[in-house]
Amino acid sequence: MTSMLQIIELPAVASTNSELKDRSANQNLANWTVLSAKSQSAGRGQAGNTWETEPDKNIICSIFFRPHNIAADKQFILSKAIAVGIVRYLDSVGIAATIKWPNDIYVGSKKICGILIENTLIGNKINTSIAGIGLNLNQSVFSDRLPNPTSVKLETDQSFDRVKETEKLALSVQKSISTLSENSYEIINSDYHNLLYKKGILSLFKAKDHLFQGTIISVSDTGPITIVDETTKESQQFYFKEVEFCIGSE
């Protein structure tokens, strides 16, 4: 049985992740509390980046939950499950999206959604998880600073109700996470690899200052990606930031 979502809607926050983190530190938050905001002034992204979002246009939310029995070194399985849940939600609005390792959701070669997951640990287990999701919904004009943004509106030519869609998205993420606790990680891993951006497709990558052609094979539950180098035929594991896609040049 999965529990009901407890959705909190706020007009404005600095960051839904930070707000939810503060609340979880100060009170006993109900499992599956979702904090959603109309606008966010200091949205945080991966690797210390900021996340910009036009007020009242997009899904900006953070989902608090207590995972069942997930080892600290397998934290990335949560990222896989969350990403699969987001792709399933996008499928329900008619968008075929893929998961770009490590943490982005793409439509073609454009980014539609970013994810920032922050976990706390007790011993070698995950205690709480906050899954922050910024999903471009009704925004159709983006800053020139962003390399390749898209939105549900740009992809489908339709506008959606932000609050209703936030709930649908959170439910889809919850459903995907519950697959993890009831079974092994096999279902999520198979879904994740089917949805993985550029998996099995020869692509151009950059590692340190070296450009190479390679093919993604898999992503482990601990996070690194395995890529086979086309020239040397050797497979190599890369951790976050050790390799990047050369998008648009492949």
C-alpha distances (whole Å) from 27 to each of 21, 34, 224 are 10, 15, 35
The b-or-e profile of 206-225 (16+ CB within 10 A means b, else e) is eeeeeebebbbbbbebebbb
The b-or-e profile of 57-80 (16+ CB within 10 A means b, else e) is bbbbbbbbbebeebeeebbbbbbb
Q: According to the binding rule CB under 6 A, does residue 39 interact with ligand BTN?
A: no
Which residue lies nearest ligand BTN, judged by its C-beta?
A: 114
Q: According to the binding rule CB under 6 A, does residue 74 interact with ligand BTN?
A: no
Residues in contact with ligand BTN, shown as a per-residue x/- string from 110 to 129 under the rule CB under 6 A: ----xxx-------------
Q: Which is nearer to ligand BTN, 62 or 79 (CB)?
A: 62
Degrees, nearest 5: CA angle 171-86-54: 100
Tokens 């890369």 sit on residue: 238
Tokens 């996470």 sit on residue: 177
Q: Which is nearer to ligand BTN, 70 or 137 (CB)?
A: 137
Helix (H) or strand (E) holding 106: strand 104-107
Given the rule CB under 6 A, which of 38-46, 137-145, 202-210, 239-247 is the region that contacts ligand BTN?
38-46
Q: According to the binding rule CB under 6 A, does residue 152 interact with ligand BTN?
A: no
Instruction: Tally Cβ neighbours within 10 Å of residue 54.
Output: 16
Residues in contact with ligand BTN, shown as a per-residue x/- string from 86 to 105 under the rule CB under 6 A: ------------------x-
Q: Which is nearer to ligand BTN, 8 or 217 (CB)?
A: 8
Given the rule CB under 6 A, which of 39-47, 152-160, 185-193, 203-211 is the region that contacts ligand BTN?
39-47
Of positions 134, 214, 223, 224, contacts ligand BTN by CB under 6 A: 134
Q: According to the binding rule CB under 6 A, does residue 136 interact with ligand BTN?
A: no
To the nearest whole angstrom, how small is the minimum distance from the Cβ of residue 234 to ligand BTN? 30
Contact of 226 with 205, CB cutoff 8 Å: no
d(CA 140, CA 145): 15
Degrees, nearest 5: CA angle 45-51-52: 175
Q: According to the binding rule CB under 6 A, does residue 173 interact with ligand BTN?
A: no
Q: According to the binding rule CB under 6 A, does residue 60 interact with ligand BTN?
A: yes
Q: According to the binding rule CB under 6 A, does residue 16 interact with ligand BTN?
A: yes
Residue ranges binding ligand BTN (CB under 6 A):
15-17, 43-46, 49, 51, 60-62, 104, 114-116, 132-134
